[in-house]
Amino acid sequence: MRPDVLLVDGEPISQLSALDRGLHYGDGLFETIACQRGRARFVALHLKRLAKGCERFGLCAPDMKSLREKIDQLVPGDASALIKLIVTRGRATARGYRPRGDEQTTQILLRYPASPEDPGLAHDGIVARVGELKLGENPALAGIKHLNRLEQVLASRESDASGALESLLFSSSGRLISGTMSNVFLVRDNEVATPRLDLCGVEGVMRSVVMREAARAQHPIQERALWRADLDAAQEIFLTNARIGIWPVRTLEGRTLTPGPVTRRLQQLLQPLLEAPADA
Residues 43 to 82 in contact with a second copy, rule: CB under 8 A:
57-58, 82
Among 37, 39, 68, 146, binds a second copy (CB under 8 A): 146
Sign of CA dihedral 49, 78, 267, 155: negative
| 227 near a second copy (CB under 8 A) | no
C-beta neighbour count of 4 within 10 angstroms: 12
C-alpha to C-alpha distance for 102 and 127, rounded to whole angstroms: 47
C-alpha to C-alpha distance for 225 and 203, rounded to whole angstroms: 14
CB of 200 to a second copy, least distance (A): 7
| 110 near a second copy (CB under 8 A) | yes
C-alpha to C-alpha distance for 94 and 194, rounded to whole angstroms: 42
Q: Is the Cβ of residue 8 or residue 269 nearer to a second copy in the bound state?
A: 8
| 143 near a second copy (CB under 8 A) | no
- Using CA atoms of 38, 42, 46, 52 in order, give the dihedral in degrees to the nearest 10: 150
Among 66, 104, 138, 222, binds a second copy (CB under 8 A): 138
C-alpha to C-alpha distance for 70 and 62, rounded to whole angstroms: 12
| 141 near a second copy (CB under 8 A) | yes
Residues lying near a second copy in the complex (CB under 8 A) are found at 1-3, 6, 8, 13-27, 30, 57-58, 82, 84, 86, 88, 94-99, 108, 110, 112, 133-141, 146-157, 159-160, 172-173, 180-181, 199-200
